[in-house]
């Protein structure tokens, strides 16, 4: 069961360009701000060399949370269980209901807490 929450994920780097590689390099660090899932709040660094489900992966600084795209095409903030499954799952502490968005910073509207099912 999921519940909507006011959560935002934003980039901390300057404005991005149209080239995909430059865009991704401008997304090296993401910041999660949430009041419903405080354990997910913080800065997330891009994990180089890992692309679960063909998409970038970010890891929380000093924590065991990851921002990843699930097998259902939604973005999640997951924990150790998601990592153990090598992110081949649809679970996390939070998720966004939009599917197929290339990067989490482009998502609009609220994130939900709980799994997507």
- Global confidence as pTM: 0.79
Tell me how far apart the alpha carbons of residues 85 and 116 are, in angstroms, rounded to a whole number.
16
In eight-state DSSP terms, residue 25 is: H
Confidence (pLDDT) at 27: 77
58-77, pLDDT tens digit by residue?
Answer: 999 999 999 999 999 999 99
Confidence (pLDDT) at 14: 31
Residues of the chain with pLDDT under 70: 1-26, 115-117
Q: Which helix (H) or strand (E) holds 32?
A: strand 29-34
Confidence (pLDDT) at 5: 42
Helix (H, G, I), strand (E, B) or coil at 17: coil
């Amino acid at each position: 069961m999921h519940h909507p929450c006011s959560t935002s994920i934003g980039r901390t780097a300057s404005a991005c360009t149209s080239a995909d590689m430059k865009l991704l390099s401008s997304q090296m660090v993401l910041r999660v701000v949430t009041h419903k899932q405080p354990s997910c709040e913080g800065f997330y660094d891009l994990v180089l060399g890992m692309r679960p489900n063909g998409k970038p992966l970010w890891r929380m600084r000093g924590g065991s949370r990851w921002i990843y795209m699930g097998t259902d095409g939604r973005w999640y903030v997951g924990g150790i269980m998601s990592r153990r499954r090598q992110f081949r799952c649809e679970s996390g502490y939070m998720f966004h209901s939009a599917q197929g968005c290339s990067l989490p910073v482009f998502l609009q509207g609220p994130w939900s807490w709980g799994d997507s099912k």
